[in-house]
């Protein structure tokens, strides 16, 4: 994609998502997430009515009169948008792929954050974190994020959420909101995800194609794993195939949801055929 095409696409995304940002996050985005608490600002002389629990006894003893600690609330947030760029994200049975939906959602979340004066960062991952943009404020920074996201060519076909979690644990010191946009078709990431969720406010956004939830009866077909390249011929009309594949899909979903529940994380489930506004509204209102 050349520079002119890239700029046109980014401007189109900006225009398309502006209305979504206003309707989904008008006042809601910031109110649904808390800042990082309070931090010390200064000491001042005690006046009648002040909370005695805030007296700084060391300063008071030194100056021979009571002084209290002043604190101020940290209102700015840091949001990290982590987008799965593995080969399975390009699958689509309809008008939009999983990656198309992830791009739209990343734009909504990013522009919502910068409109509130928050910092936004980006992590693009496959089986490693292939690209990382540290969090900053401002719309121009958001354009740089979209440029990287739209123009990124993945070096690997596969997914490793464990590696993502480990990298973010090392790269992000301040408590942040981390949106992970992926189909979560991955194993053995439970321990590292749990550690990440204990330190940060992690929101898994599970984006799936309808066929990944229910494979239709379409006769004998060649099924190919987009990430490993493994192929298998199956008769999708047989009851045994339908029973087996549904059991596998249900087991994977149940195991994943139980893990999220155990660490106090509630995922946002989206389909490539869904409109984004209503699910987002419902999710953030319920937080």
Domain chopping of the chain, boundaries: 3-31+76-286, 38-73
Q: What distance in Å separates the CA atoms of residue 260 and residue 281, rounded to the nearest whole number?
A: 21
Average pLDDT over residues 46-57: 86
Q: What distance in Å separates the CA atoms of residue 183 and residue 209, rounded to the nearest whole number?
A: 9
Q: Between 117 and 169, whose confidence is greater?
A: 169
Of residues 272, 226, 268, the one with CA closest to residue 99: 272
Extract the tokens encoding 209: 């194609």
pLDDT at residue 152 greater than cutoff 60: yes
What pLDDT is attached to residue 1? 47
What pLDDT is attached to residue 160? 95
According to the per-residue pLDDT averaged within each range, which of 109-118, 201-210, 246-255 is highest? 201-210
What pLDDT is attached to residue 93? 82
For domain 3-31+76-286, the CATH superfamily is von Willebrand factor, type A domain (3.40.50.410)
What pLDDT is attached to residue 80? 96
The count of other CB atoms within 10 Å of the CB of residue 214 is 10
Q: Do the Cβ atoms of 164 and 182 come closer than 8 Å?
A: no
- Quick one: what percent of the chain has pLDDT higher than 70? 83
| Furthest C-alpha separation in the chain | 88
Q: What distance in Å separates the CA atoms of residue 181 and residue 272, rounded to the nearest whole number?
A: 13
Q: Between 99 and 225, whose confidence is greater?
A: 99
What pLDDT is attached to residue 205? 96
Least confident piece of the model among 121-130, 158-167, 171-180, 224-233 = 224-233
Q: Where is 207: in which H helix or E strand?
A: strand 201-208
Q: Between 20 and 46, whose confidence is greater?
A: 46
DSSP string computed for 246-257: HHHHHHHHHHHH
The count of other CB atoms within 10 Å of the CB of residue 56 is 18
Average pLDDT over residues 128-153: 92
Average pLDDT over residues 34-38: 50
What pLDDT is attached to residue 159? 94
Q: What distance in Å separates the CA atoms of residue 133 and residue 285, rounded to the nearest whole number?
A: 29
pLDDT at residue 46 greater than cutoff 90: no
Helices (H), the chain: 3-25, 28-32, 57-63, 98-115, 139-151, 161-171, 190-199, 210-213, 239-262, 277-286
What pLDDT is attached to residue 20? 59
Average pLDDT over residues 210-236: 77
149-188 in b/e burial notation, b at 16+ Cβ within 10 A? bbeeebeebbbbbbbbbbbbeeebeebbbbbbbbbbbbee
What pLDDT is attached to residue 113? 83
């Amino acid at each position: 994609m050349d520079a002119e095409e890239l700029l046109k696409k980014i401007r189109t995304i900006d225009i398309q998502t502006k209305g979504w940002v206003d309707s989904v996050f008008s006042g809601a985005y910031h109110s649904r997430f808390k800042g990082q608490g309070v931090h010390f600002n200064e000491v001042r002389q005690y006046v009648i009515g002040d909370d005695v629990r805030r007296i700084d006894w060391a300063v008071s003893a030194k100056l021979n009169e009571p002084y209290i600690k002043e604190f101020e609330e940290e209102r700015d947030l840091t949001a990290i948008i982590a987008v799965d760029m593995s080969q399975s994200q390009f699958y689509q049975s309809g008008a939009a792929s999983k990656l198309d939906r992830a791009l739209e959602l990343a734009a909504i979340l990013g522009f919502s954050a910068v409109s509130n004066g928050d910092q936004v960062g980006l992590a693009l991952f496959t089986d490693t974190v292939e690209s990382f943009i540290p969090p900053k404020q401002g719309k121009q920074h958001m354009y740089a994020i979209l440029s990287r996201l739209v123009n990124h060519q993945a070096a690997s076909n596969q997914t490793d959420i464990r590696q993502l979690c480990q990298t973010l644990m090392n790269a992000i010191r301040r408590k942040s909101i981390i949106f992970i946009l992926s189909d979560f078709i991955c194993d053995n990431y439970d321990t590292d995800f749990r550690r990440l969720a204990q330190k940060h406010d992690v929101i898994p956004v599970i984006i799936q194609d309808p066929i990944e939830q229910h494979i239709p009866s379409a006769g004998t077909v060649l099924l190919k794993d987009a990430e490993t390249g493994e192929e298998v011929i199956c008769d999708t009309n047989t009851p045994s195939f339908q029973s087996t594949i549904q059991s596998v899909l249900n087991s994977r979903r149940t195991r994943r949801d139980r893990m999220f529940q155990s660490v106090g994380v509630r995922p946002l489930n989206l389909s490539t055929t869904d409109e984004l506004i209503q699910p987002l509204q419902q999710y953030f209102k319920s937080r």
